[in-house]
Structure 1
Amino acid sequence: MLIRFNVKNFLSFSSRDDGQSQEFSMISGKVRNKKAHVIDTDKLKLLKFAAVYGANAAGKSNLVKAIQCMRTLIVNGFPKGSSTWYCKNDSENRGKASYFETEILLNHRYYAYGFEVILSTQQFVSEWLVELMPDNREKVIFDRDLTHKTYSFAKEFQADSLYDKLQVYADDISDDRSVLMLSVLNKHKRGLYHQFKQAQIFAEVYQWFEQQLDINFPDQPISDYSYMVQTENVEKICRFISAFGTGITDFQLVEVPVEKVFDEIPKSIRSELLTNIEKKAAEMNANSHCSKWGVVMRSRHDFFTLEFNPEGEILCKTIQFSHGSKKTLFSLSEESDGTIRILDLLEILLSEEGKVYIVDELDRCLHPTLSYQFVKTYLQLAAEKNIQLIVTTHESRLLDFDLLRRDEVWFINKKNSGDSDIYSLEEYNTRFDQKVDKAYLEGRYGGVPIFSTVFPVTEK
């Protein structure tokens, strides 16, 4: 679970007035109602939902991009164009380090992982992994200073031959400031974790970023619809789809010609897919227990499953939906953008424990009532499991104390300097009978557009 995220010197996020990083937190405040919205741990109470508000260009998407940037640097390395992602509001920021740190709850323990990086030169400055102990002590698991080429590991890693292995990995990258230790310890190191159980924490933290943190932007599909392939979900899916007023009464997987699918796949992807099919076919022939293999493919307006057997035969299916009693089938591309958006979001409602979803512009393509209903449904389902959903939105109808707690509402406001500030509604003394949506639109909490006259009228 996500506890906190801190960032400094990234896009519109410079630093607070005291020089500290900007902070977004899922730690619950003093609100006592709606306890089902909270994950109650031994040490902390964590929220299961947060809505982030702000005017266009205030920095809402930049918060999501900051979390995504940290994840990408860990899992894939420097993304294209990242050398210009420092905060440009101050020219000196080009040579300064950007700061990223995430606190997480993992297996009933609390960890903080972070690093500093000079984005303009794409060089890491420092890296650390710390366990936050119940008595407020900090236990450093590993610490790396790339400027002075030093590193250290906790005492339990200094026994036997584990420390020797870790030392070799650290020494190998002592002169390489372009890679993270956490990344190195998770590239083809499966044998390390089989041999040394105490080293598992490096894999677990990495896997949290890679597998548990699900970040979604408006220009990409949220789901590949693989949840629809699982037949045990059909009844539940139909119930959800019907409840959101899409008009869909049923869906089914329908066979389509393989040529139709391959014609729509870009040549480079098609070539890679065919190579993988050949490899998998060879593996299935060598393994009598493996009878079939499949992939799910999703574009903005299409969905396909490809299933292969050892003989090289390919079975292709797509999803189609029926509306009303006549059972006429329609393809995904024939559904409205709003319906497709709901179908994307269903994956969140069907998700298992432990996932953290971040959705930029939740309300895109959705009617205000539908956005409200989705959040309401999510919170009802989340009462029975530990899951988190963080969204950015303009939808003021969600600012309703019948739906949300005060500490579940955040704002991002852009100052005159161009820097973005993050703050919670908890910072305001808001009565529970306050019409928060009206106050927000009036600009009481910031985070709303300030309009000026574009073409002033000159008096004659």
Structure 2
Amino acid sequence: MVHLIEFTVGNFLSFKDKKTFSMEASNIRELPDNILEAGNYKLLKTAAIYGANSSGKSNLIKALEFMQDTIMNSSKLNSTDKLDVTPFLLAKENSSLPSYFEILLLIWDNYYRYGFELDNDKIHSEWLYIVPQNTKKEQALFLRENESIGISNAFSEAKGLEERTRENGLFLSVCDQFNVKQAKEIIANINDIRILSGVNHDPFKSMTNVYLREEAKKTKDFFNNFQLGFIDINLITGERAAFDKAQTTHNIYDISGKTIGRHSFIITESESAGTNKVFDMAGFILYTLQFGFPLVVDELDAKLHPLLTKKIIEMFHSPEINPKGAQLIFATHDTNLLGCDCFRRDQIWFTEKDEKEQTDLYSLVEFRDPDGVKVRNDRNYEKDYIQGRYGAIPFIGDFSNLMNHGKKS
């Protein structure tokens, strides 16, 4: 079981300066069911990220995914392989500087802070801290500056592995290769952060197939509660399909409305794009709820009715459905969610680019009006956002003369 506390990124894609996204709950009192208590921390169960197109919402998720991929693939690289990092390219000084990534995790009751700086050729720095149980003080496990790696006695299993670390490889990954217990635990839990695309979701259906096969009742109950129009769903296996395919079952009615039979459809051929998206994502929703892992989705609302999106969020807020405190973090344009009384102010985040095309990242609980006043919890968040009170909206030009090009007005 792993919980995300914070993630920081700097000099990557549209992020020039370091920006921190936090799942730590602030000292506000609304919606207590939206908070989970883990160790000494009060964390948020969900967070929504709003912003105009190209403002940096997806880049924040890409940054987390890049960090995860770098950690998971570091041990597979050769000494000459590049690290494929893209710094902020719209400021001349940044193109030659390393990119920065740091993540704070709670793994069961242990707090870890891990991060690194890298460019396309090498790791410039790397660090790992722990806050042992029943204490509040950070303790360094290792610190790396270029080729120099210092290891504390609390991480003694890793001693002797410094010389096995390439300049383009992560020391944490080397420790994992050589079965250092804490490194294995950290990497395994970072890998359990599930990052999905809400648009290109077809690759994720295999997890739903697993749940439909192994946890049929639970999975069918999930679909029944969403009321997607079919009365049953099953997998076709064996000779009828080269791989598992889902088929939905619908009633057939006579002219008076009486049920006289049933008909089945292959879900990908006959059901709506929204139904297919719910199917494709269902397995990972169930998986993260079952085991208490974070789920990160770019464009959660794409193809979905607002009530379906709201229902998914409510599942993560529910103490009964989500007893292990799985977290849902998602980027969205669905402003209806801001008016549904389902978010605290610290769960609403915004991305906005400035005049130099640098992404800023801030939460509603941090936001202040020009006169310095914080946003009250009785505000109409949806109305305020659409009206531009919080920023992070597109500024749309005047299209009235669009078709008059080359003509006299």
- Structures share a fold, TM > 0.5? yes
Q: Is structure 2 residue 358 aligned with structure 1 residue 419?
A: yes
Describe the SS at the equivalent of 2:339. Answer: coil
Q: Is structure 2 residue 35 aligned with structure 1 residue 59?
A: no
| Segment drifting more, 70-79 vs 243-252 | 70-79
Q: Is structure 2 residue 217 aligned with structure 1 residue 235?
A: yes
Offset at residue 256 of structure 1 (A): 4.3
Note the 1:350-361 alignment, pairs <5 A. 350-351=286-287, 352-361=290-299
What residue is the counterpart of 2:162 in the other structure? Answer: 170
Offset at residue 382 of structure 1 (A): 5.0
Offset at residue 254 of structure 1 (A): 2.5
Offset at residue 459 of structure 1 (A): 8.7
What residue is the counterpart of 2:266 in the other structure? Answer: 331
Describe the SS at the equivalent of 2:70. Answer: helix
Describe the SS at the equivalent of 1:426. Answer: coil
What residue is the counterpart of 1:151 in the other structure? Answer: 149
Given residue 9 of structure 2, which amino acid in structure 1 is its aligned partner?
Answer: V
Offset at residue 102 of structure 1 (A): 0.1
**Pairing partner for 1:388 from 322, 327, 331:** 327
With structure 1 as the length reference, what TM-score do the two structures score?
0.76
1:26/1:46 contact within 8 Å kept: yes
**Pairing partner for 1:362 from 297, 300, 312:** 300
1:372/1:397 contact within 8 Å kept: no
Deviation string for 1:413-445 (max 9, x for gaps)? 111110001100101322232211111111111
Describe the SS at the equivalent of 1:141. Answer: strand
Q: Is structure 2 residue 174 aligned with structure 1 residue 184?
A: yes
1:247/1:324 contact within 8 Å kept: no
- Cα RMSD, aligned residues only: 2.4
Deviation string for 1:241-266 (max 9, x for gaps)? 133231121122223437x62xxxxx
What residue is the counterpart of 1:453 in the other structure? Answer: 398
Given residue 144 of structure 1, which amino acid in structure 2 is its aligned partner?
Answer: R
Deviation string for 1:196-252 (max 9, x for gaps)? xxx411110011112x21011232433412343444x32332232133231121122
With structure 2 as the length reference, what TM-score do the two structures score?
0.85
Change (3 A) 1:239 1:172: closer
**Pairing partner for 1:406 from 345, 348, 353:** 345
| Structure 1: tracts of 5 or more residues without a match | 16-20, 193-198, 262-303, 306-317
Instruction: Provide the rounded CA distance (Å) in 2 between the counterparts of 1:389 and 1:373.
Output: 12
Describe the SS at the equivalent of 2:232. Answer: strand
Change (3 A) 1:444 1:419: same
| Segment drifting more, 450-459 vs 342-351 | 450-459
Change (3 A) 1:254 1:135: closer
Instruction: Provide the rounded CA distance (Å) in 2 between the counterparts of 1:384 and 1:34.
Output: 16
Change (3 A) 1:367 1:144: same
Given residue 150 of structure 1, which amino acid in structure 2 is its aligned partner?
Answer: S
What residue is the counterpart of 1:98 in the other structure? Answer: 99
Offset at residue 400 of structure 1 (A): 3.0
Instruction: Provide the rounded CA distance (Å) in 2 between the counterparts of 1:8 and 1:49.
Output: 23
Instruction: Provide the rounded CA distance (Å) in 2 between the counterparts of 1:124 and 1:255.
Output: 47
**Pairing partner for 2:232 from 226, 250, 261:** 250
1:9/1:98 contact within 8 Å kept: yes
Change (3 A) 1:250 1:171: same
Q: Is structure 2 residue 188 aligned with structure 1 residue 207?
A: yes
